[in-house]
Amino acid sequence: MDFGPFLLLALMEGTVQAAVLALTAVGLALVFGVMRVVNVAHGEFFMLGAVTAWFVASHVPGPPWAAFLAALVLCPLVAGAVAAAADTLVLKRLDYDPGATIVATIGLLYILQQAALSLYGPEARPVPAPFTWPIRLPWFGWSGYKVFVVAAAAAILGLVWLMLARSRAGLVMRATQVDRDIARAFGINVDRVYAGVFALGAGLAAVAAVLIVPIQQAHYLMGHDPLLLSFAVVIIGGLGSLRGTLVAALVIGLSDGVISVFISPTLAKIVATLVVALVLVFRPQGLFGARA
Amino acid sequence: MTLSTPFQPTRRSVLGGLAAGGALALSPARFASAQSAAPIRLGFQLHRTGIGAAYGRWYERTTQAALKVLNEAGGINGRPVEVIFEDDGTDPRRGAEVVEKLATQAGCDLIFGALFSHVVVGSAPRAGELKIPYLVCSEGFHVASGTLNRWTLQPGITDVRAQVSSMAPWVTQNLGRKVTMLFPDYAFGHDHRDYFSAALKAQGGEILELVPIPPTETSFTRYFPRIPAATEVLYHVMVGPAVLSFVKELGEFYAGGGRPQIFGFIDSLEAVDTASPGLEFLEGTHFWEGHCRMRQADASEHEDFYRAAVGVDANGASVADARDVSTYAHMFSCWETLFVIRDAMVAAGYQGPADRQRLVEAVEAMTTMPLSREHVQGDKVFNGRTHQVFGHQYISRVEGGKLVRVHATAIEDSLYPDAVDYTAMAF
């Protein structure tokens, strides 16, 4: 293939990856920013979203787009409910101690993974795309659904930003992030905010999974890669910084797309990890992080 | 706190002994003629989880079905047979631990069933050290290449080298000579790369490009630009949970038309319905099948018996759930291996672990295996020196979403010079 179309394909693939990565990583960044919890189980909420999408898709009658819309609404709610329960039953009781929550979320990772294996099974199962729109370029074909993934991810990220910046719920979250004791003194129910933020983070991962699952498939081990890449994005962007997370997701997603198309996917992962290491050495607070 | 001395019988141990004695006395009469009526315990190294899980699920079902047939026919040497399944997570390190556990803790007479080649390569040395027969169902050339040991045998399924050598002539004569290969970047994929390339060159064909894909990959479009436009035949073999994505993305990539002929290993679609949405472009493409998933018009009575026993319908899906598609092209190997074990144990007069060496020698002495209820995939020839069996391979074409057999290779086409003589090795 010639260089031009080759680069075009690389950029298109990279943009899809960046969009989904941004959604997943923003969830992780929110949880860390507000709660100071490193959620190792974040990838499993992604998986939970995908697996639930399969259940919804196989039980909602009618055209694929109806099932897809139902999944887009239901899956984040399911993942969010599981996350809120985990927060109330486990994390709260550990008093959000950083070390203990890491261990607890590792445990949560295994519980969710094994639960999916028991209830859903070991197969990778497909979820039909809401529509089929093959894009026929002169050099190669591409799935038009991927364009929708990018647009939907951008729209959802916009909504998240609006909520954080303009709504009362966002104000309460930001207040809790700045100082939870003062927030509590002002009558904010911090426990409820934490449960809500943990649920929101999980819900974002689940939405990302619903978007991606017609391209990939739902599988109980699929949470691994999104977790690693989200961590890379959050560390590069600056822990808890949403703007940094978005920029870093674009950088990682596009560079991954381009490097893996032109050279090798393994090299792309090496580069991403190397960037994380360099950022940790030279700018530990991340590109946009305010605090170390 | 009380301390019990080692030889003091406790109430619990006495009751246990009574129960065991009672069970022995009441065991079915047909097993009573044996010197020992205790069950023969076979360990099964199962990919219940990990990337091989879809296979593991069906390997377990197939083995359970074969075990039922075996026990109803009187077991082995007058003794009932038990299979102990142990999950290896499709992981080589865990695989070696499972071999150890089945051999030493579960007290198994032998171990069989492993499929993924990296697990086999990781586990076989431990089986050799423990001197326990290890019968694999893995297709890899690693058994016949001589890299493993005298305790490792593959009597249930033909290896990749033999498979691809026997099919290369058909591919060059019917599909094209300029081939690009997409394959998983580990031992199993490398067998395809090395031996299909060699067989193709022997037929006057040419490899245009080799595209290795990491086995954990989930997105594939990025690899397809490396397929040269001059490619006449695209050869693909993919494993793991992402196989459907692989084939779907291949379809999207060629949505603009101009796709080459496609020859794939059914591994790329094992446990996947060929009529899944997005796979329409596979119409008219070809697949290797170790055993035809869809019931063919000329299916033998043994084939029908096997399908019914395992619970698979004419489309290769579970009779209980049409969406639960089997790993039909591979899972016959568990069935056939279990009956090879029976025949070898009968021939060796197997009584217990002391006879393990004689059991291996009995398998090595095997030669031909006719098409039968025990060898449902077809007749086979076993080479005791290389510990490898050779059978027919099938090439199917997708017609109306169904796999229709268009060619069956002869066993002679798959033979190659011996690379090792295990029988000359010490135990």
Query: What percent of chain B is predicted at pLDDT more than 90?
Result: 72
CATH number (3.40.1030.10, 3.40.50.2300, 3.40.50.720, 3.40.50.261) of B160-298+392-414 reads 3.40.50.2300
Asked if A120 and A221 touch (Cβ cutoff 8 Å), the reply is no
Per-residue pLDDT at B321: 92
Nearest to A124 among B57, B221, B241 (CB): B241
B115, B222, B245, B279: which to substitute to probe chain A, counting the most A Cβ within 10 Å? B222
Domains B36-159+331-391 and B160-298+392-414 share a fold: yes
Per-residue pLDDT at A7: 85
Determine the distance in angstroms separating the CA of A244 from the nearest CA of chain B, rounded to an integer.
26
Determine the distance in angstroms separating the CA of B317 from the nearest CA of chain A, rounded to an integer.
14
B53 contacts on A by Cβ (under 8 Å): 117, 121-123
Decide if B320 touches A, using CB distance below 8 A. no
Q: Tokens 């647009």 correspond to what residue?
A: A151
**What is the third-level CATH fold of B36-159+331-391?**
Rossmann fold (3.40.50)
CB contact under 8 A, A10 and B222: yes
Per-residue pLDDT at B171: 94
Distance, CA of A262 to CA of A10 (rounded, Å): 8
Determine the distance in angstroms separating the CA of A242 from the nearest CA of chain B, rounded to an integer.
27
CB contact under 8 A, A123 and B53: yes
Per-residue pLDDT at B34: 47
Per-residue pLDDT at A61: 86
Question: What is the token pair recorded at B96?
Answer: 């070696």
Nearest residue on chain B to A64, judged by CA atoms? B277
Residue B310 CB coordination number (10 Å): 23
Determine the distance in angstroms separating the CA of A21 from the nearest CA of chain B, rounded to an integer.
14
At residue B152, the 3 state secondary structure works out as strand
Per-residue pLDDT at B225: 84
Distance, CA of A260 to CA of B223 (rounded, Å): 8
CA atoms within 13 A on the CB side of B140: 26
- Give the pLDDT mean for B314-329: 93
Determine the distance in angstroms separating the CA of A84 from the nearest CA of chain B, rounded to an integer.
28
Decide if A63 touches B, using CB distance below 8 A. no
Asked if B406 and B415 touch (Cβ cutoff 8 Å), the reply is no
Per-residue pLDDT at B279: 84
Between B8-22, B31-45, B73-87, B263-277, the lowest mean confidence (pLDDT) is in B8-22
Per-residue pLDDT at B9: 54
A140 contacts on B by Cβ (under 8 Å): 224-225, 253, 256
pLDDT in tens, B26-60: 444 444 444 578 999 999 999 998 888 889 999 99
- Mean pLDDT score across all residues of chain B: 89
CB contact under 8 A, A128 and B277: yes
User: Residue B8, class by beta-carbon neighbours within 10 Å (0-12 exposed, 13-18 middle, 19+ buried)?
Assistant: exposed
- Give the pLDDT mean for B327-350: 96
A117, A125, A147: which to substitute to probe chain B, counting the most B Cβ within 10 Å? A125
Question: What is the token pair recorded at A36?
Answer: 């100071």
* DSSP state letters, A185-210: HTT--HHHHHHHHHHHHHHHHHHHHH
Q: Is the pLDDT of residue B169 over 80?
A: yes
Determine the distance in angstroms separating the CA of B49 from the nearest CA of chain A, rounded to an integer.
6
Which candidate, B248, B183, B243, places its Cα nearest to that of B213? B183
Q: Is the pLDDT of residue B68 over 80?
A: yes
Give phi and psi for B220, each to the nearest 5. Answer: -120, -15
The stretches in chain A having pLDDT less than 50 are 292
Per-residue pLDDT at A2: 73
Which candidate, B338, B248, B355, places its Cα nearest to that of B61? B338
Q: Tokens 């004689």 correspond to what residue?
A: B358
CB contact under 8 A, A216 and B219: yes
* Global confidence as pTM: 0.80
Q: Which residues of B71-98 are buried (b: 16+ CB within 10 A; e: fewer)?
A: beebbbbebbbbbbbbbbbbbbebbbbb
B225 contacts on A by Cβ (under 8 Å): 1, 5-6, 9, 140, 261
Between A137-146, A148-157, B278-287, B416-425, the lowest mean confidence (pLDDT) is in A137-146
At residue B146, the 3 state secondary structure works out as coil
B257 contacts on A by Cβ (under 8 Å): 136
- Give the pLDDT mean for B271-277: 84
Domain locations along chain B = 36-159+331-391, 160-298+392-414
Asked if B358 and B350 touch (Cβ cutoff 8 Å), the reply is yes
- H-helix segments, B46-104: 53-72, 92-100
pLDDT in tens, B241-268: 788 888 888 988 888 778 899 999 998 8
Per-residue pLDDT at A132: 81
Asked if B242 and A124 touch (Cβ cutoff 8 Å), the reply is yes
CB contact under 8 A, A140 and B218: no
Determine the distance in angstroms separating the CA of A123 from the nearest CA of chain B, rounded to an integer.
5
> pLDDT category, B354, cuts 50, 70, 90?
very high
Interface of B with A in 52-91 (CB under 8 A): 53-54, 56-57
In which region does residue A230 sit, left (phi positive, over 0), alpha (psi from -120 to 50) or beta (all else)? alpha
Per-residue pLDDT at A4: 80
* Pairs across A and B, CB distance < 8 A: 93
